[in-house]
Amino acid sequence: MSPPKREDGAPWRNFYGRRRGKTLRPGQVEHLETTLEYLRPAGIGWDENPDRNPLDLIEIFGNDRPIWLEIGFGSGEHLLAMAERYPGVGFIGCEPFVNGVATLVPRIAARKIENIRVHPGDARDLLDVIPKGKLEKVFLLYPDPWPKKKHHRRRFMNPEALVPMARAMADGAELRVATDIADYVRHSLETVAQDANFQWEAECAEDWRRPWKDWTRTRYEAKAIREGRSPHYLTFRRVCG
């Protein structure tokens, strides 16, 4: 098998933007060449797993434990905090932006965190090989909003990503979405309204204005607030199927 193609034959549409930013420091490069090799689960890439065989999560984490996924962890502030708060949970963080991965990996090593694994690439490749129903919580925090209408199909909150996510999530599992873009909220709610696999948990306005009790503010959120944009916190539940 090979990576899927769009109906028009073009390459798989990316939901993320650039892959690299500023030049990495030598120490970051060293961690990418050493520490990341330990943290990176084998069998996610199409070249190494063309048949898309499911990952052995017990082998990856050393035991059978709840698995939580963060899609696009940025610099990793939230992922690090959650892993330290919940040491009995296995965390997988996906991030295609090399500089974000290079920021997180040395911090994992410095704090001696044992329950994080890192996939430095497209989350959809990982969702392909997560065993069915194994994810108990998924975080999508300040994803690229793709503000131009012609790019809305590149937003992660679209069927192209939600369908494989629903397959990988357990019945009753939680999907958390944080964004400071009102149109992304609208788009997410409209998309979920057409997807029988998820339901929005909000019962009043405070449910999407107030962060989760174990929330850790990211640098991106702090910047959004400084610039006058309001965070929105959406909680969706994987409907039992």
Binding residues for substrate: 148, 180, 218-221
Give the separation between CA 119 and CA 135, rounded to whole angstroms: 15
Q: Exactly one of 51, 144, 171, 214 is catalytic; name it.
A: 144
Active site residue 171: no
Burial-class residue 81 by CB neighbours within 10 Å (0-12, 13-18, 19+).
middle
The H or E element containing residue 136 is: strand 135-141
Give the separation between CA 60 and CA 56, rounded to whole angstroms: 6
With CA atoms as reference, report the closest residue to 82 among 67, 61, 100: 67
Computed on alpha carbons and rounded to an integer, the radius of gyration of the chain in Å comes to: 17
The H or E element containing residue 234 is: strand 232-238
**Strands 169-179, 232-238: parallel, antiparallel or unpaired by DSSP?**
antiparallel
Count of beta carbons in the 10 Å neighbourhood of residue 69: 28
Residues with catalytic function: 144
